Every structure is written in C-alpha cells, then in structure tokens.
C-alpha cells in the first residue's frame, strides 16, 4: 500500500516537473514521439479508400481504431472532462477546470494537458460511485460521432477501440451503444477506493484483446488499423504488430471536418435513458456563460417559485410568461367531470399523462385553471411541502392504492403518470395498468418539455433540486395537449377491455400525438441502467426517487 502511494506521488511530481520544463525551456519532447515516427513510417492508405470498400469480407475482419481520432468529429476532449467535473464533482470543480483551460491550450504535449484534466476531474472521487461514463457521457459521445467514420467501423465483424481517455469514461459508450468487443483505455490509479487523479502511463492491453487479435491471425483474417494522421497522444506498437503494412489507414483532420453528424435512427443501440443536469455540450465558452448565469438563475428560480406558490392562476401565468417561461396548451382543455356509471361514488375526471418532469401535474393544473390532486410513487419531502397542489403517495400495495385512488376520485379530479418515472428522450415507458380500473372517465394528456441549460430530472442526484434546476433555465417551454376522452368501449366499463389493453391503448395514443416510440421498459429498467439500483428508497437511502 505504501509503495503504491509512493509511486502515485512520484507520477504526480513527474507531471509537475514536465510542466515547469515546458514553461522554463519552451520545449518538451512528447514521450510517444519515437513511437509516432515508427508508425508514421509504415506504408499506409488513406481513410477514403477504406470508406469506399463495401465488401462483405470485412465482416470476417477485425478493426483496431482510435476512438477520438477516427470516430469523433470534435478534436477537443474538454467538454467530456467538464461533464465529469460538473456531474461527479459539482460546480466548484467545474469552475476550477475552466480556470485551468488556458494552461491546457498552451501545453505543447497533449499528454500533459490530458493528465491535468484527469487530475482536476477525478482527484478525490470515489471510484465505485463514478457512473458518469455510463449514465451521462454516452449521449454526448453519440452526438459527436461522425457518420463517415461510424459507417467504416461498423462494417467490421470485430472491433477493438483504443482511447487515450480513462476507461471509465469510454467503456460504457463503446460497449453498450457501438457494440465494440474490446476497449483499450487508460486506467485510473485508486487509493482506498478513491481516485488520486493520476492514470497509468500506458494503456493496459488485457488478455481479451490479445486473444481476439491472435485468433484472427490464426484464422487467416486481416486486422485493419484505423489511426488519426499525426496523432501523438497515444501509440500501440504491440497492437499494430498484428496489422500488415498495407492495412494501416489514416484519417486526416481535413477529412474529419467534413464529416456529418450520426442520425439517431442509425444508433446501433437506441439512447433511451441518460442522466446528468447539463442539457448542452459544455464547450469552454458555453460553460463560462452558464457559470455566469447560475447566480442570476438561482434568483430567477426562487422568484418563479414564489409567484407559482402565492398568486392565483390568472395572475401567475402572465408574470411567469414575462419571466421567460413559455407555456403552450391545446385550445380546448377537458375540464368537465361527469359521473361514472360504473361506480356512482366516482365523480372526478381521471387525467392520464406521460411523465417528463416533476412539474407535470402543476402545468396541467394551470392549463385548466383548477387545482388537482396528484398521486406519486415517491416524492422528496421538500417537494411535497412546497407543492402548490395536493400530492398523495402510493404505497405500492395494489389493493391499498386502488382504494386510495377511488376515494380521491370521489372527492374531485385526479392526475396520474402511469410511467412511474420521467423519460427525457422521445420514448414512452410501459404504463402501469392500475389507473384503468379506477374510472371510465379518462382524459389522456400529452406532455412535452424543452430546456436549454439544465434538465429538471435526475436518477442519481438529489431529487429535491429537480424543480430548482428546471426553473433556472432562461426560457423553458412546456407543451400540454389534451386528447379526446377515451370512449367507454375502450375502457374497463362492463369488462369491455382488460386493464392492460386500456393502458396500452392510451400509451399508443399519446405516443402518436407526441411522435414518441412506445417501449416495454419500466422504471426499474431506468434506475438499473443509470443508478445501479431499482429506484426504491430502500436501495438508495440518501436520495428520494420519483
């Protein structure tokens, strides 16, 4: 343990020594320069010749490709480290990284700049809690993938991705969304479960990678290398030894600048769930603008919250609109409640809406200018106290919840979100069928929200801050669209339909209106992917999950 700690501090001081050598002597030799010259001396062909090859023979071959140099369009790694700094470390760590950005730009060695960003972002972060690579980064990586590079990589049967980034940042993106077989990245150094902000000096090539390449060569199949031209960040002569000289292809910066964005319909694995607060790509200028905005945003969010809590609807809506909040609703909202013939005790109208943020019931209530009662599976105590409408928690016991919902409907209108959790992307999660048995007076409501800075939902963060982050957006837009009431023949009235058929029918109707795709995924699936738990309060005692 002492030796590991000593080695970590030695690497840290070695990095500082290289930095001051750059400042004092204005020159620094890249540690991989000799390897770069060796690879550059190989006979290679241009990327364009490989892109034109559409032969089915590539399905039997393996490609070894540089992730940052040949797959991503952007040449800057700063936004990805900023996401790690903000989501895993908070606003203060993000500010520190932004202040170091000028030093990173003026460093001659890419390796030094990379080490500095790793130090700022990961120092003191608990290794097992760092889920940013799987929950947050894949969305931004996918938006940065070049269509041309993607098409070439996906033609090969086996794919080995090489990255100069820490493995924890790229492994989830490459394996889960691009179906890459093996990932070769940099490993973070850990002491007592906490990252010390240092990486191993070289990428660790594990036995899985070597086994794949050796099997390919034994079978007589070619191994193709795809590398960025003049890339000095990392070289892998051991991996290139499996490639023939004529199978080394290079991508130039000029070619990358002409690449197109990968359309979402071509994602090998659809992006349905992602976490994190930032709704924009945090480039240096965008990050600076947001940090400047945050003090004003907090004040604006508090002002908006007070207006919503203290003023009636006819005064609240114009003032909130003046503050920048956009609110769009269908011209003829359904506000009348008819007595149900199925159960004479049921007098209220049951509003069924998809779930985008915690504020869905509030916007629905504002659209009809009438207070509603909302039922939720779980709610933070802060949100429950501050909610301007009545909120009732469900017990997750089907019989008890059914009695409670019928009682609430007998007292007035009720709003439910059968998805059970929020979804940011254009997908609808499976609807829980419990609501279908409560009433045959059902009004579906389609909800859609647009934000520019912060998402108002989270799976791994503090749920009580969700409304604050949403209200901090300069100009959030909420769309509320009322659909026609569900016909009695399409409800459970007189056992005309089963509760599952009713739930699926309403999910399909809302999906068609919104242009969203219906899925069978559930709340449990979301939290297993993003937070590593089932989304229950017992599995994550520090956070209240909705």
What's 212-226 look like in SS3?
Answer: HHHHHHHCCCCEEEE
Whether the pLDDT of residue 493 is over 50: the answer is yes
Distance, in Å, from the CA atom of 409 to the CA atom of 92, rounded to the nearest integer, reads 47
Under the banding of pLDDT at 50, 70 and 90, the label for residue 44 is: low
Main-chain dihedrals φ then ψ at residue 151, nearest 5 degrees: -60, -35
Answer with the residue of higher pLDDT: 164 or 333: 164
What number of H helices and E strands is found in the chain?
22, 17
H-type alpha helices, 243-397? 253-257, 284-310, 313-322, 360-368, 381-386
Answer with the residue of higher pLDDT: 24 or 148: 148
3-state SS, residue 501: helix
* pLDDT tens-digit series, residues 451-467: 999 999 998 888 889 99
Under the banding of pLDDT at 50, 70 and 90, the label for residue 402 is: confident
| Per-residue tokens: 261 | 């964005």
Please give the average per-residue pLDDT across 165-193, as a whole number: 91
Residue 162 contacts residue 236 (beta carbons within 8 Å): yes
Answer with the residue of higher pLDDT: 231 or 166: 166
Name the residue among 156, 136, 138 with its Cα closest to residue 51: 156
Distance, in Å, from the CA atom of 187 to the CA atom of 3, rounded to the nearest integer, reads 18
Average pLDDT, the chain: 82
* pLDDT tens-digit series, residues 116-139: 999 999 999 988 778 899 999 999
* pLDDT tens-digit series, residues 166-178: 999 999 999 999 9
Residue 81 contacts residue 117 (beta carbons within 8 Å): yes
Q: What is the pLDDT of residue 13?
A: 46
Q: What is the pLDDT of residue 216?
A: 67
Please give the average per-residue pLDDT across 518-529, as a whole number: 92
195: left (phi over 0), alpha (psi -120 to 50) or beta: beta
Residues in the chain: 546
Residue 415 contacts residue 361 (beta carbons within 8 Å): yes
Under the banding of pLDDT at 50, 70 and 90, the label for residue 5 is: low
| Per-residue tokens: 367 | 């659209």
Residue 238 contacts residue 38 (beta carbons within 8 Å): no
Q: What is the pLDDT of residue 98?
A: 96
Q: What is the pLDDT of residue 41?
A: 41
Residue 76 CB partners (closer than 8 Å, separation 6+): 283
Please give the average per-residue pLDDT across 8-24, as a whole number: 48
Under the banding of pLDDT at 50, 70 and 90, the label for residue 158 is: confident
- Dihedral sign from CA coordinates of 249, 252, 255, 259: positive
Q: What is the pLDDT of residue 34?
A: 37
Using a 10 angstrom Cβ sphere, with 0-12 exposed, 13-18 middle and 19 or more buried, the burial of residue 205 is: middle
Q: Which range among 255-269, 281-295, 338-352 shows the weakest confidence by mean pLDDT?
A: 338-352
| Per-residue tokens: 111 | 């390796």
- Dihedral sign from CA coordinates of 127, 129, 134, 138: negative
Compute the chain's Rg from CA coordinates. 27
* pLDDT tens-digit series, residues 56-74: 677 778 888 989 989 999 9
Q: What is the pLDDT of residue 395?
A: 80
3-state SS, residue 545: coil
Residue percentage of the chain with pLDDT more than 90: 45
Q: What is the pLDDT of residue 15?
A: 54
The pTM of the full predicted model, rounded to 2 decimals, is 0.85
Answer with the residue of higher pLDDT: 495 or 426: 426
Q: What is the pLDDT of residue 59?
A: 78
Which range has highest mean pLDDT (82-91, 343-352, 367-376)? Answer: 82-91
Instruction: Give the CA count within 13 Å in the CB-facing half-sphere of 261.
Output: 8
Under the banding of pLDDT at 50, 70 and 90, the label for residue 29 is: very low
Q: What is the pLDDT of residue 487?
A: 85
Whether the pLDDT of residue 55 is over 70: the answer is no
Q: What DSSP element (H or E) covers 447?
A: strand 442-450
Answer with the residue of higher pLDDT: 17 or 158: 158
Residue percentage of the chain with pLDDT more than 70: 78
Main-chain dihedrals φ then ψ at residue 222, nearest 5 degrees: -75, 150
Distance, in Å, from the CA atom of 362 to the CA atom of 359, rounded to the nearest integer, reads 5
Please give the average per-residue pLDDT across 146-163, as a whole number: 90
The CATH-assigned architecture of domain 30-266 is 3-Layer(aba) Sandwich (3.40)
Residue 277 contacts residue 72 (beta carbons within 8 Å): no
Q: What is the pLDDT of residue 38?
A: 40
Distance, in Å, from the CA atom of 33 to the CA atom of 39, rounded to the nearest integer, reads 10
Under the banding of pLDDT at 50, 70 and 90, the label for residue 243 is: confident
Please give the average per-residue pLDDT across 77-94, as a whole number: 95
Answer with the residue of higher pLDDT: 227 or 176: 176
Answer with the residue of higher pLDDT: 321 or 107: 321
CA distances from 57 to 50, 54, 152, 178, 266 (A): 13, 9, 13, 20, 22
Residue 131 contacts residue 530 (beta carbons within 8 Å): yes
Under the banding of pLDDT at 50, 70 and 90, the label for residue 48 is: low
Residue 317 contacts residue 366 (beta carbons within 8 Å): yes
Q: What is the pLDDT of residue 137?
A: 96
In the chain, ranges of CATH 3.40.50 domains: 30-266
Please give the average per-residue pLDDT across 225-254, as a whole number: 72
Tokens 């240092």, residue? 198
Output the CA angle 526-523-540, nearest 5 degrees: 75
Whether the pLDDT of residue 24 is over 90: the answer is no
Please give the average per-residue pLDDT across 260-266, as a whole number: 94
Pairing of the two strands 442-450 and 477-482: antiparallel
Residue 403 contacts residue 394 (beta carbons within 8 Å): no
């Amino acid at each position: 343990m002492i030796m590991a700690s000593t080695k970590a501090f030695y690497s840290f001081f070695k990095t500082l020594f290289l930095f001051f050598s750059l400042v004092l002597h204005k020159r620094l030799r890249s540690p991989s320069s000799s390897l770069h010259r060796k690879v550059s001396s190989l006979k290679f062909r241009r990327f364009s010749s490989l892109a034109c090859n559409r032969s089915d023979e590539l399905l039997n071959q393996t490609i070894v490709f540089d992730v940052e140099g040949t797959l991503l369009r952007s040449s800057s790694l700063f936004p990805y480290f900023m996401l790690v700094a903000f989501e895993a470390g908070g606003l203060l760590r993000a500010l520190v990284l932004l202040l170091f950005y000028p030093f990173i730009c003026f460093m001659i060695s890419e390796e030094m700049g990379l080490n500095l960003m790793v130090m700022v972002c990961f120092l003191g972060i608990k290794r097992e809690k760092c889920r940013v690579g799987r929950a947050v980064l894949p969305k931004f990586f996918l938006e940065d993938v070049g269509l041309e590079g993607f098409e070439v990589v996906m033609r090969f049967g086996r794919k080995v991705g090489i990255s100069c980034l820490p493995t924890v940042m790229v492994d989830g993106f490459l394996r889960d969304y691009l179906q890459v077989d093996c990932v070769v990245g940099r490993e973070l150094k850990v002491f007592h479960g906490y990252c010390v902000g240092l990486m191993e000096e070289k990428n660790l090539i594990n036995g899985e990678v070597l086994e794949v390449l050796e099997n390919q060569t034994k079978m007589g199949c070619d191994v193709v290398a795809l590398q960025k031209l003049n890339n000095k960040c990392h070289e892998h002569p051991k991996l290139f030894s499996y490639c023939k000289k004529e199978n080394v292809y290079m991508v130039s910066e000029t070619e990358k600048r002409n690449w197109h964005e990968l359309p979402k319909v071509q994602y090998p694995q659809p992006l349905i769930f992602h976490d994190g607060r930032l709704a924009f790509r945090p480039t240096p200028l965008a990050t600076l603008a947001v940090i400047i905005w945050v003090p004003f945003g907090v004040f604006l969010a508090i002002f908006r919250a007070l207006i919503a809590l203290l003023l009636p609807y006819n005064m609240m809506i114009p003032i909130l609109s003046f503050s920048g909040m956009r609110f769009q609703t269908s011209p003829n909202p359904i506000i009348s409640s008819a007595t149900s013939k199925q159960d004479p005790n049921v007098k209220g109208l049951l509003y069924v809406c998809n779930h985008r943020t915690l504020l869905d019931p509030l916007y629905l209530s504002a659209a009809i200018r009438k207070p509603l009662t909302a039922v939720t599976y779980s709610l933070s105590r802060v949100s429950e106290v501050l909610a301007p409408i009545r909120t009732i928690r469900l017990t997750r016991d089907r019989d008890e919840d059914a009695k409670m919902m019928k009682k609430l409907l007998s007292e007035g209108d009720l709003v439910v979100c059968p998805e059970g959790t929020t979804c940011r992307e254009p997908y609808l999660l499976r609807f829980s069928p419990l609501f279908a048995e409560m009433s045959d007076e059902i009004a579906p409501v389609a909800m859609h929200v647009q934000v520019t800075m912060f998402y108002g939902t989270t799976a791994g963060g503090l749920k009580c801050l969700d409304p604050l982050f949403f209200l901090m957006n300069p100009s959030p837009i909420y769309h509320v669209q009322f659909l026609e009431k569900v016909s009695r023949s399409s409800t459970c009235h007189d056992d005309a339909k089963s509760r599952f058929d009713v739930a699926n029918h309403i999910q399909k109707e809302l999906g068609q209106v919104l242009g969203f795709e219906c899925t069978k995924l559930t709340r449990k699936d979301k939290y297993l992917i993003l937070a590593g738990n089932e989304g229950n309060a017992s599995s994550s005692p520090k956070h209240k999950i909705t």
